[in-house]
Structure 1
């Protein structure tokens, strides 16, 4: 009961809350369909319950916000319906049409209890997001930018954005590495989340990394396995589609589904339904280049074989002609040699006799000249011997001469000695050692 204070009626907080609770319970007895954006799902895995944050925006500004609750059983049922209908799980950031009751609790405040969500309406919202992305890309003139790039003749160096453990990625590698022609591809994996709210940022971030080293790669391949049980709405996101559309080298997609082509696939240079199909596309590109090369190789081999055969035949003809001509020439030369040998034999005998006579005469002349020369040389040698004997130092010493030495060297001038030096005087029959007391230079005056 309210409390009376002088002229005022005062209510407690719980009385006010209960009054509001009663009023809302009496006013909102029905179940209502409400449209709002689910800003956050707030799913708690330990309890299975969800506490979605619901908002309404106008021109980017939040004009209404309200709490809600989605109990575990209802969440599981609704999530299954979403996956079956939209191929997407219930998630953050989508506009939903939901059925709810309105209640007020003195502690937890105003709450909408969500009983059901129309997945068909959500599907329409996803389609509107997709169309909005397409229209924006068209208006900016970049929708076909990646498709207009020149595709490499041989797409050998691949930058692959995928999950390392993805089955689609494994299938992709298996087909490339075991192709029957033995074509060799070089793959560099850039790991990224490929589904959920964070996939847009993850894939875009890896595209930025690849762009910084774009010269190292021929194409980019975005590989994702799985089917319709995993969400694809992130591939309709404008930011991801824009990054692919404006990428400087061709982007190829193989994200594993057969319906509802996403915007990212539309703007990519080439879209394959599955990773395996994308691998086949790359192999065919290789084959498209290799086949003409192999054909040209066969033509070159065939032409070269023909040319070698023609040249061999021509060479054999030349050999046969050369052999016949050589035999004829050798036969003629043999006859000429035989005739020449006969003439040479006759001439040689005459010249031999004349030569023998000339040699005999020359030998006689040489003997006489040599004898005379030897006698003259002998006389000269005897005279030189006598002169040498007379000049022998021992003979000179015997005639009264001597040799003076200092330190074993012959002394020729007093300029090389000083007073007090010891000198040696060599005579014919001995030597004298002396000490110099006085030096007297020769007076030339």
Structure 2
């Protein structure tokens, strides 16, 4: 059977290209037509390999192109590129022959402003922050020993496998409740809100049943910690966690909520609203799941400390009991000591009384022997004292003075006259002498 190629003449047969040769020819055509080229667009899916090479997409509203930036060029970039940023890149357009993809090899990059998604992220972040949704005072500490853990994520996500594996390894005894949700796409925000609401209802129901016998009948775990997790991705992939309704639902959580979305360098609005941000889903699980061995070791340590404290307390009480038993076990000895002490005190009392009586007897005997002498001596002393007083009185007798030639002058009223001005001329005076008195009349007073 003939094909259409058989009917054509050798002169009109088109060239048959090898795939690699065609890609190379297209690359040469692009090189000649466009290069070097400068392109503006928004970063998407930015990643940095272990070799230092960077791979990302550059896009706008109508198209996108794959880009590669090798380590030497990446080291010259003066900032850390992030998804959503608007940049200008310089490079050479070509074809990556192994895949047949159009590729821009970037040789330089600079910021050209924020991308549309990133600007939307910043606006929402500023709005919610001004409303206080990010305040640290609102955020709660984690429960050290959760009784139940709620997980909101996609059932098909690798993040769920990582979280469940970590929880099984570290706390297999803690029940885990999974609320499935879409974590990417247009319907993801509403799905996340619904899943969170279901977990909130379980958490509130568990709190209301806490301590009730109905809890055991229902076998419903008490959820006191919630994990909202998703693996890494581009800004578009994680955009559901930058939704305003999701953010407001997160802050309504009745129990502490941990956000473990993306990788360590990824930040979403959910991270700022949550009580705590974890860099990865696995890290979020590890934050709420201290290994069982750690708590068992702590219990052993507390048991040892309590046992030692109780032993020391028992030893002290045993010592006190032994001392009390020693005192009460031989009352006859104590009674004998008391009798001996009482006898000594009685003997001392008798000796003191005898000594006092002897002293009184000696004093009475001495008093009987010396009493006449004492009385005689006392009378003589009193007589001598009276004689001395009598002699002093005699020496003070005015008549002795008058006998020496002095006279005592008085006026008509009997008042003593001791100064010349009391004796006016013609005044009548009386002069008392040793053997009588003389009436006088002043003729001429004279001063010394």
What TM-score do you get using the length of structure 2 for normalisation? 0.42
What TM-score do you get using the length of structure 1 for normalisation? 0.42
Please tell me whether Structure 1 or Structure 2 has the larger radius of gyration of its CA atoms: 2
